[in-house]
Amino acid sequence: MPTVKYQKGDTVMGRWPGSSLYYEVKVLGFKPRTQLYTVIYKDGTELELKEQDIKSVSGFQTRSRSRSRSPSRRRSRSRSPARTTRRSSSRTTAAVAATAVTESAPSSRRDSKLKDTVEVRLSPLVSAAASEAKVEAESEKNQGPYNLRRRKADGDAKPELLEKAKAPPAPAAIHSTPLDFGGKIGAYFWLLFLPAWVLFVILQVNLKDPSLVNAPPPLPPLDAFWDAQALGFVILWILFQALLYILPVGKLSEGMPLRSGERLKYRTNGFFAIVVSAIVAGIAVHQGVDLTYVHSHFLQLATATFIISVLLSIYLYVRSRYASSAELALGGNSGNVVYDFFKGHELNPRIKNFDLKFFCEMRPGLIGWCLINFAMALAEMKQQNLDAPSYAMILVNLFQLLYVVDGLWNEEAILTTMDLMHDGFGFMLAFGDLVWVPFTYTLQAYYLVSHPNSLSLPAVTAIVILKLIGFYIFRKSNSEKNAFRRNPSDPKLSHLKTIPTATGKSLLVSGWWGVVRHPNYLGDLIMALAWSLPCGFSHLLPWYYMIYFIILLVHRDSRDMSECRRKYGSAWDEYCRTVRYRIIPRVY
């Protein structure tokens, strides 16, 4: 068993990831499996560091130097990672100090804290006879001897800290994330439950009385699940969307920086894809193609798509075994085969420039959702002998079409979401994108085919107003978030209030993000309500999406809370005090 160099409770110097600065930290523990130390900084930020990123306090030798010039005239070039490049609001400026992390406090207390916190910058070692001006002019390097200097506040002369380094500093430590969705046992559960739930809702809604008192629905014979033609249609649809994706049409957008600093490029032509898909669908109907096949073979189409999602997930996991550590997702790197298969082992699997995760996230399932809704409207007209779809069916189709078109029009915004930035691509996203979205989000339209619900004109008007309110909140808040994440230094955003953090990033507390912590979730919930209301209150099943979405968003909020508290430390506590409500103002 390897010897642990640093013990729990030791006070050491920890290198801040991505920089050459060292700060005083306390060791919380050591994980033998990952060979990483968990340390805590003075503001409460917890990180996991490799042993080579940690040095003992005694290793920093102190010697004094006389100053030939006034300390008040000399300014250190070193910067704390807590400092932000953009201007923060007046109410949060006091939270930024010269140390790695300091909290807003009176100047006398802050000055005393500065003296207790050691910040070290690595730069080439110079001889004792070298002038101080030369020391300041020397640039940082990652090789050779190093000069480790304590940061100086204006007006204070601080001793220098010298250490001879034998090797280049190690690269920034890779953080691991805690297991979610119930961990390893939860992965087994979700792998079985998710397909079973999709099967349940499809069979249940086909009952003459889909009340839950009649659950579970009877299982059809095995041959009812399979149809080779349905599999062919699904494969053809995915290939058609892939063709539209690779066409050199639309903007070539840059994603957010990866851990390596690289920015991947994405072809964001989703709006073009849905327009072409709509034209092709219209031409097909005009030529006599019966799209009601989608309704009559809904179960077989779902089965075929499920098979494809499983095969894709297996391929993704096998190829991830040959990916470099820099290409792996932090959350899907547990070492457990089942959990990593479910959560996604590789972050951005690509075949040359074809990004599999981005494609599945935005194309076949999302556009397929709209195609299925359109087919359900045609099936309702055929089954109910109508000349036109009902008001309820029209509302469901238009509302969900607006949601999808908005997402594809603003496709670049998806590059700043958790799915694209942090989650690996495995069964969870593959099944969710290809099966869950098109075959459960269409439940309202599928329900209305056999269970019509008449709406009065005032009811239609009220539902439309509700939808527009939800859409405005959703789009406005997402636009604010996307703009701030992409370029927080944009002069157009200088009026926004922020809270700086020890990571160098800032937390937005202006606009809708100053009302609740997840205003985009609030808009999503209002829209989900507008989608469900056209189905009436006769049965609970068409309200499944609303109920599921509440559970999903509460879980996401809980996951965000724990992750952000670990990542941002005391800055997150200040943020929670500033923005009190999570999703619904004055309620939750």
Is residue 319's pLDDT more than 90?
yes
As a whole number, mean pLDDT of residues 506-524 equals: 85
Tokens coding 584: 């619904």
Q: Is 239 contained in some domain?
A: yes
Alpha-carbon distance of 489 to 84, in angstroms, equals: 9
205 and 349 part of one domain: yes
What value does the CA radius of gyration of the chain take, rounded to a whole number of Å? 28
Residue finishing a domain among 403, 434, 465: 434
The DSSP code for 140 is: P
Tokens coding 151: 């940061």
As a whole number, mean pLDDT of residues 4-25 equals: 81
pTM value is: 0.67
47 and 183 part of one domain: no
Q: What is the CATH number of the domain that holds 15?
A: 2.30.30.140
Residue finishing a domain among 374, 401, 434: 434
H-helix segments, 384-456: 391-409, 418-421, 427-431, 437-440, 443-450
pLDDT tens string 336-349: 999 999 999 999 99
Q: Is 490 contained in some domain?
A: no
43 and 191 part of one domain: no
pLDDT grade, residue 488 (50/70/90)? confident
Q: Is 196 contained in some domain?
A: yes
As a whole number, mean pLDDT of residues 128-152 equals: 36
pLDDT for 212: 83
pLDDT for 479: 83
Is residue 64's pLDDT more than 60?
no
Q: Is 90 contained in some domain?
A: no
Q: Is 332 contained in some domain?
A: yes
206 and 351 part of one domain: yes
Query: How high does pLDDT run on average in the chain?
Result: 79
pLDDT for 291: 95
Burial of 447 (0-12, 13-18, 19+ CB in 10 A): buried
pLDDT grade, residue 77 (50/70/90)? very low
Q: Is 34 contained in some domain?
A: yes
pLDDT tens string 438-468: 999 999 999 999 999 999 999 999 999 999 9
Is residue 27's pLDDT more than 60?
yes
Alpha-carbon distance of 172 to 260, in angstroms, equals: 9
41 and 188 part of one domain: no
H-helix segments, 263-390: 270-286, 293-296, 298-320, 337-343, 356-362, 364-383
pLDDT for 48: 81
pLDDT for 177: 62
Q: How many domains does the chain have?
A: 2
Alpha-carbon distance of 161 to 249, in angstroms, equals: 57
Is residue 570's pLDDT more than 60?
yes
> What range does the domain containing 18 cover?
11-59
Q: Is 300 contained in some domain?
A: yes
40 and 185 part of one domain: no
Q: Is 265 contained in some domain?
A: yes
CB 479 within 8 A of CB 407: no
Residue finishing a domain among 414, 434, 454: 434
pLDDT grade, residue 38 (50/70/90)? confident
Tell me how far apart the terminal alpha carbons of the chain are, to the nearest angstrom. 48
41 and 184 part of one domain: no
Is residue 352's pLDDT more than 60?
yes
183 and 312 part of one domain: yes
Is residue 215's pLDDT more than 90?
no
pLDDT tens string 90-123: 333 333 333 333 333 334 433 433 334 344 444 3
pLDDT tens string 219-260: 999 999 999 999 999 999 999 999 999 999 988 998 888 878
> What is the sign of the dihedral through the CA atoms of 128, 134, 135 and 138?
negative
50 and 186 part of one domain: no
- Written as one letter, the residue type at 526 is I
Is residue 172's pLDDT more than 50?
no
Task: Give the phi and the psi of residue 252 in degrees, each rounded to 5.
Answer: -100, 105
- The residue ranking higher by pLDDT, 376 or 3, is 376
- Give the SS3 label for residue 162: strand
pLDDT for 60: 62
- The residue ranking higher by pLDDT, 217 or 149, is 217
pLDDT tens string 379-433: 999 999 999 999 999 999 999 999 999 999 989 888 888 788 888 999 999 999 9
229 and 359 part of one domain: yes
Is residue 67's pLDDT more than 90?
no
Alpha-carbon distance of 415 to 172, in angstroms, equals: 24
As a whole number, mean pLDDT of residues 558-572 equals: 78
Instruction: Provide the percentage of residues in the chain whose pLDDT is more than 70.
Output: 79
Angle, vertex CA 460, rays to CA 457 and CA 461, nearest 5: 90
